[in-house]
Amino acid sequence: METQHCPGFENNKSLRVHTCKCQKCGKENEIFSDELNKKHKCQGCGNELDVTKCDCCIP
């Protein structure tokens, strides 16, 4: 049996997944920690998420 690991897996180790609840429909969207400074749209309703208002992003 081969137990190979994907080389990219180690690089993603420090990444955290934040959960941002849509202010409009309440759907929880997963946002990676390195994408917090990008714009995100809710996967449920397409509303533009304001990640600065997410609990997840407040230090």
Minimum distance of Zn ion from residue 32's CB (angstroms) = 18
Residue 41 CB, nearest approach to Zn ion (Å): 8
CA torsion sign for 39, 40, 46, 52 is negative
Residue 15 near Zn ion by CB under 5 A: no
Residue 54 touching Zn ion (CB under 5 A): no
Give the number of residues in contact with Zn ion, rule: CB under 5 A.
8
Q: Is 48 a residue that touches Zn ion (CB under 5 A)?
A: no
